[in-house]
A and B are shown apart, each in its own frame.
Chain A
Amino acid sequence: MDFILKVWRQNGPDAPGRLVTYEATNIPPEASFLEMLDIVNAGLEARGEDPIAFEHDCREGICGSCGMMINGRPHGPGRGITTCQLYMRQFKDGQTIVVEPWRAKAFPVIKDLVVDRSAFDRIIAAGGYISINTGSAPEANSILVPKEDADLAMDAAACIGCGACVAACKNASAMLFVAAKVAHLALLPQGKPERRRRVLAMVAAMDAEGFGNCTNEGECEAECPKNISIAHIARLNREYLRAKFFSR
């Protein structure tokens, strides 16, 4: 298959960027989007040109590093997939494909399609953990977790921190990410003791990074590769208001 690519090229955080057009030729339909970029980059390198910088690691939808805006949608067309799980057979032969990095003040561009998502790491460092020594795996029935809570916590824990929620949101808000982390831990007995401190600290850290405010539109949920629901954002709001006004 052949494609016309329009890729955002930007040399560094403060350099000006622009869309550059490339031809991607002889791409196998079963190539993933990242493999297609590999092929294009091999061609660029053979001609002595600078390859397109993009981030990737697991290439199986679990590390969250490969996010990019493809034809105006985070992780491209399709639902519940990351860029590395997007296959070129999804596109029409000869189609023009526009590729941009995530755009948010809190996610500055490092180079081309690579953005700095360490804002997410700082939010996690503010409270997205439980501070006990877990030791070896405990006996499974010593702490009972209702099935409903375990299911909800698992849904939230599916978040891979890719940043598609921020990319999709018209306000570049990180609420779905923070909601997933807060909900995951608040629903489980191990997370309960630090519930109040966690939500206050993580929301404060989120605000400090310069993400926007949530206006409840649901674009994040529509584009989340893990289909995380905005019902978790309602839970985050509940957790926050409870911690702020209704606890000790």
Chain B
Amino acid sequence: MVSILKKAIMAVTGLGWFVYVVLHLAGNLLLFKGPETYNAYSEFLVSNPLIIPAELGLLVFLVAHLASAWRVTRENSAARPQPYLERVLSRRGGTTSASGWFSTFASRTMWYGGVLLLFFLILHVWMFKYGDRSGAHGLWGLVVRSFKNPWISAIYIAAMLPLGFHLSHGFASALQTLGLLKPRWYPGVRRLSQVVGWVLAAGFILLPLWALLFAEV
């Protein structure tokens, strides 16, 4: 497939998941409100007739994102069979481009971070979507009791690091891939992307932290 189309698919599906992640965080912050509100919100989602199409859509987007990411990453490593013996990245060599964009840890680890997110996603869906919510306080109870286990909380907190990195490059990258940026927006959009990524990661980290330290079941 044409390079630009592969990237456009990644950008559209990535932004789709980004929107989901924002809504998912907003919904889950209701955890602080206690079992009634949180369980009512969950009930509202599960009983919604649109839930199945939305889930299927997310699944299709994830598969398309992954398939494109796999092709792009493989082709990119094939494009330089012999690496440089010496290579200085722009920021470290004293050069920054006029746009203020440069290669970052986040941008160079998109594939690895993405794979970590995939493993997390599988674990997460298995734990909570298909978990047993019949105990005390329903789903809220399941979530809070899970996070009372420091190991589970640690995994959830650690898993948000790849999310922060992935989005701090991905958000700006997607806008560039879709050709939506004007010249003077570049430095700002890169910073915005980093803020967006880390605010989301921090938001999710609050949930296990709060459950572990303050929640009473």
Contacts and interface: CB of A to CB of B under 8 A. Distances in A.
Nearest to B101: A218
Interface in B84-104: 84-90, 93-104
Contact of B86 (A100, A211, A221, A241): A100
A222 B97 contact: yes
B3 A206 contact: yes
Interface stretch (B5-13, B112-120, B143-151, B200-208): B5-13
A230 B86 contact: no
A215 B179 contact: no
B101 A221 contact: yes
Interface string B39-69: 0000000000000000000000000000000
A237 B182 CA distance: 12
A238 B8 CA distance: 10
A51 interface: no
B181 interface: yes
A51 to B, nearest CB: 21
B79 A221 contact: no
B88 A104 contact: no
Majority DSSP secondary structure for residues of A touching B: mixed
Given A98-B85, A218-B90, A219-B102, A237 B75 contact: no
B186 A230 contact: yes
A29 interface: no
Q: Contact residue range for chain A?
A: 35 or more
Contacts of B98: 221, 227, 229
What size tier do the contact residues of chain B reach? Answer: 35 or more
B99 A240 contact: no
B24 interface: no
Q: Name which of A104, A105, A213, A219 has the most chain B CB atoms within 10 A of its CB.
A: A213
Nearest to B172: A216
B108 interface: yes
A241 B179 contact: yes
B142 interface: no
Interface stretch (A53-61, A132-140, A170-178): A170-178
A230 B88 contact: no
Contacts of B102: 217-219, 222
A208 to B, nearest CB: 10
Contact of B79 (A100, A211, A235): A211
B67 to A, nearest CB: 14
A233 B80 contact: no
Contacts of A241: 4, 8, 178-179
B134 interface: no
A237 B4 contact: yes
B79 A106 contact: yes
Contact of A234 (B80, B107, B176): B176
B110 interface: yes
B19 interface: no
A192 B36 CA distance: 61
B183 interface: yes
B4 A231 contact: no
Q: Shortest 9 CB-CB distances between A and B: which pairs?
A: A218-B101, A238-B179, A212-B79, A222-B90, A237-B179, A72-B88, A221-B97, A171-B76, A222-B97
5 contacts: A72-B87, A170-B103, A213-B75, A229-B99, A234-B180
Given A203-B2, A207-B2, A222-B95, 7 more contacts: A77-B93, A170-B103, A173-B79, A211-B79, A219-B89, A222-B102, A237-B4
Interface of A: 8, 19, 69, 71-73, 77, 79, 98, 100, 103-106, 168, 170-173, 175, 203-204, 206-207, 210-219, 221-223, 227, 229-231, 233-241, 244
